[in-house]
């Protein structure tokens, strides 16, 4: 596939028309990170939030880059070519491209021959539940024997063969490179988490989606978006049919959570939409909406999941879900609704739904006889913490403990709000470190404490292993301990260093179990 790419085709897709002075030559991959450059690659040097990528041009050339793209300072410099002469007399063309960062996703899409048009891409956005919904869809499709890949927080790659990822949504270039790799590997469907950062930073502009899914919107990331309305606008840009607002090439059919206040509004504005609700009281409204819907007539919460009486435009079914909590009923229904909207057969989908297993680090229960029950969960927003605590309460006959902290260098405003939630929904609170990053750990704890009215049932143990160890020692067999915030993460970031650390491993060691989940 890539053998057909060359300097001339790249120049043309950038909009170049003139006769080039250079003979044509083959190109391999587009790269935005000099450390990943290989022979015959194109290095794209962009100015980032921390460093200027242009500083790495010499490194990229020494690693094998044969073309460089840089941001043009003004429109008149678009497609200006400078020639970098190397000691061995070879010449490397450096092309200036106007609005390079914004156009990068579209450029990469064309360079890789529009890979998303050859796949069924399902884009999932929302504050909480993206990983869960995209993993559930991928799990179900894999059970239905469709080769499926994933891109998201837990990793990227074919389902069950994920490579860890730094970001939830990859860079504009890496998204398209990976999609092209999936096409080569004959993948049929890709479920992809699309973060608000990904949307706001133009990482997905060149994407054709078969379906787009919205889970919910609540407070997070205001360090970046500043206001909820700007945050909502970023999310809406995945669905908007308006050419001026929209952030992807094709939105496809949208599957929207009707239980969310933003979702409810957006449903009215969308031409091709399926509405989803896990509130029994919404069922009549859903039917009256006159659009495809997936709802429920009854839910029974059980020790190991929930029995869901689902009603939908496609038919009714009873699903025995293995996932804990009301929010996971919502996630599961969104996954089912997406597959039904994409015309997968009703009986196959609802039958498989009962076999779907919990996602790593999301409401993951660890329990041994005569010890308290531990739940490891990734709740790191006020809404998620509330939902995870409410779900944990159902399984708690004694006291409900919560151990949590907040990530450093991230939205500070959510810290006291998470404390308020913890105080309202848990009996005992242990404040500890999440990923402090470059912030002072005690400053983060202090910010969290601002949301507490009482301090009697609150312990502060900054070392996370110690916090878990002490809590497990004190808790009684009927108690439940929710350890929130890190879920699947197998690291802790302190300063700029990433240390190996895992809540799951810590708990298993303390409980004396190796591979129980």
Ligand X SMILES: Nc1ncnc2c1ncn2[C@@H]1O[C@H](COP(=O)(O)OP(=O)(O)OP(=O)(O)O)[C@@H](O)[C@H]1O
Ligand Y SMILES: N[C@H](CCC[C@H](N)C(=O)O)C(=O)O
- Contact track, ligand Y, 137-176, x by CB under 6 A: -------------------------------x--------
Residue 127 annotated as lining a ligand binding site: yes
Residue 215 annotated as lining a ligand binding site: no
- Residue placing its CB nearer to ligand X in the complex, 377 or 439: 377
231 binds ligand UAG, rule: CB under 6 A: no
CB of 487 to ligand Y, least distance (A): 8
Contacts of ligand X in 276-295 (CB under 6 A):
none
331 binds ligand X, rule: CB under 6 A: yes
Residue ranges in 394-463 assigned as alpha helix (H):
414-425, 441-449
- Residue placing its CB nearer to ligand Y in the complex, 395 or 486: 486
d(CA 124, CA 406): 24
d(CA 165, CA 149): 14
d(CA 214, CA 329): 15
CB of 390 to ligand Y, least distance (A): 20
CA distances from 10 to 32, 42, 103, 145, 204 (A): 16, 10, 14, 37, 20
159 binds ligand UAG, rule: CB under 6 A: no
d(CA 266, CA 256): 8
Cβ–Cβ < 8 Å for 330, 213: no
94 binds ligand X, rule: CB under 6 A: no
CB of 434 to ligand Y, least distance (A): 5
d(CA 319, CA 189): 24
Residue 322 annotated as lining a ligand binding site: no
CB of 221 to ligand UAG, least distance (A): 6
How is residue 261 written in tokens?
A: 């206040």
380 binds ligand Y, rule: CB under 6 A: yes
Q: Does residue 433 sit in helix, strand or coil? A: coil
CB of 378 to ligand UAG, least distance (A): 10
386 binds Mg ion, rule: CB under 5 A: no
Contacts of ligand Y in 107-126 (CB under 6 A):
none
d(CA 257, CA 196): 17
Residue 257 annotated as lining a ligand binding site: no
End-to-end CA, the chain: 42
* Burial profile 400-427: b = 16 or more Cβ within 10 angstroms, e = fewer: bbbbbbbbbebbbebbbbbbbbbbebbe
d(CA 362, CA 484): 9
CB atoms within 10 A of CB 455: 11
Which of the choices Mg ion, ligand Y, ligand X, none does residue 447 contact, using the CB cut-off of 5 to 8 A by kind? none
CB of 492 to ligand Y, least distance (A): 9
- Contact track, ligand X, 475-504, x by CB under 6 A: ------------x-----------------
d(CA 157, CA 178): 8
Q: Which stretch binds ligand Y (CB under 6 A): 156-164, 270-278, 439-447, 484-492?
A: 484-492
Residue 305 annotated as lining a ligand binding site: no
Q: Does residue 512 sit in helix, strand or coil? A: coil
CA distances from 114 to 69, 148, 171, 205, 249 (A): 20, 18, 16, 12, 10
Residues in the chain: 517
d(CA 265, CA 251): 17
- Residue placing its CB nearer to ligand Y in the complex, 225 or 410: 410
- Contact track, ligand UAG, 126-155, x by CB under 6 A: ---------------------------x--
The structure tokens 């699309």 sit at 194
- Could you tell me the strand order of the sheet in which 293-302 lies? 156-158, 148-151, 189-193, 120-125, 211-214, 253-257, 273-276, 293-302, 305-312, 315-321
358 binds ligand X, rule: CB under 6 A: no
**In the complex, which residue's CB is closest to ligand UAG?**
48
DSSP 8-state class, residue 6: B
| Count of residues near ligand X by CB under 6 A | 23
CB of 114 to ligand Y, least distance (A): 29
Residue 156 annotated as lining a ligand binding site: no
Answer for which of 410, 414, 415, 428 binds ligand Y (CB under 6 A) is 410
Q: Does residue 240 sit in helix, strand or coil? A: coil
Contacts of Mg ion in 59-78 (CB under 5 A):
none
Contacts of ligand UAG in 188-227 (CB under 6 A):
195, 197-198
- 460: closest CA among 515, 405, 390, 389? 405
- Residue placing its CB nearer to ligand X in the complex, 185 or 265: 265
* Contacts with ligand Y, residue ranges (CB under 6 A): 168, 380, 407, 410, 434-435, 485-486, 489
* Contacts with Mg ion, residue ranges (CB under 5 A): 130-131, 153, 168, 193
* Contacts with ligand X, residue ranges (CB under 6 A): 126, 128-132, 153, 168, 193, 215-216, 327, 330-331, 362, 377-379, 383-384, 387-388, 487
- Tell me the binding residues for ATP: 126-132
- Tell me the binding residues for meso-2,6-diaminopimelate: 410, 434-437, 485, 489
């Amino acid at each position: 596939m890539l053998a057909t790419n060359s300097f001339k085709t790249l120049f043309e897709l950038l909009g170049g028309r003139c006769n080039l002075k250079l003979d044509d030559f083959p190109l391999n991959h587009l790269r935005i990170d000099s450390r990943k450059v290989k022979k015959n690659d194109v290095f794209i040097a962009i100015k980032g939030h921390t460093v200027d990528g242009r500083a790495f041009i010499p490194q990229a050339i020494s690693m094998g880059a044969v073309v460089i793209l840089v941001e043009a300072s003004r429109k008149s410099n678009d497609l200006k070519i400078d020639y970098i002469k190397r000691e061995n007399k070879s010449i490397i063309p450096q092309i200036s491209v106007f609005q390079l960062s914004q156009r990068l996703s579209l450029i990469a899409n064309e360079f890789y021959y529009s890979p998303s048009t050859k796949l069924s891409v399902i884009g999932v956005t929302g504050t909480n539940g993206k990983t869960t919904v995209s993993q559930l869809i991928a799990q179900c499709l894999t059970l239905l024997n469709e080769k499926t890949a994933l891109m998201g927080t837990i990793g990227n790659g074919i389902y069950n063969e994920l490579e860890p990822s730094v970001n939830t949504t990859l860079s504009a270039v890496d998204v398209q490179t990976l999609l092209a790799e999936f096409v080569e590997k004959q993948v049929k469907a890709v479920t992809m988490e699309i973060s608000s950062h990904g949307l706001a930073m133009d990482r997905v502009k060149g994407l054709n989606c078969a379906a787009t899914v919205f889970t919910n919107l609540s407070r997070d990331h205001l360090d970046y978006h500043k206001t909820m309305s700007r945050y909502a606008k970023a999310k809406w840009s995945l669905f908007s049919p308006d050419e001026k607002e929209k952030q992807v090439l094709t939105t496809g059919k949208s599957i929207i959570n009707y239980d969310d206040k933003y979702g409810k509004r957006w449903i009215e504005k969308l031409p091709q939409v399926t509405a989803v609700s896990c509130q029994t009281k919404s069922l009549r409204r859903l039917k009256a909406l006159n659009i495809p819907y997936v709802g429920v007539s009854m839910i029974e919460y059980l020790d190991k999941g929930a029995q869901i009486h689902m009603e939908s435009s496609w038919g009714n079914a009873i699903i025995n879900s293995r996932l804990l909590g009301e929010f996971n009923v919502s996630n599961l229904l969104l996954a089912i609704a997406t597959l039904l909207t994409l015309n997968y057969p009703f009986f196959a989908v609802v039958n498989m739904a009962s076999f779907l297993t919990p996602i790593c680090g999301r409401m993951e229960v660890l329990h041994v006889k005569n010890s308290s029950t531990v739940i490891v969960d990734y709740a790191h927003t006020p809404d998620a913490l509330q939902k995870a605590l409410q779900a944990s309460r159902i399984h708690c006959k004694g006291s409900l403990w919560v151990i949590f902290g907040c990530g450093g260098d991230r939205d500070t405003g959510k810290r006291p709000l998470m404390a308020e939630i913890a105080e309202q929904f848990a009996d005992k609170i242990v404040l500890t470190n999440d990923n402090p990053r470059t912030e002072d750990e005690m400053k983060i704890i202090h910010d969290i404490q601002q949301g507490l009215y009482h301090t009697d049932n609150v312990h502060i143990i900054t070392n996370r292993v110690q916090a878990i160890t002490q809590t497990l020692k004190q808790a009684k067999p009927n108690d439940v301990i929710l350890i929130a915030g890190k879920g699947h993460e197998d690291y802790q970031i302190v300063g700029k260093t990433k240390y190996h650390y895992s809540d799951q491993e810590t708990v298993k060691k303390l409980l004396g179990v190796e591979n129980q989940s």
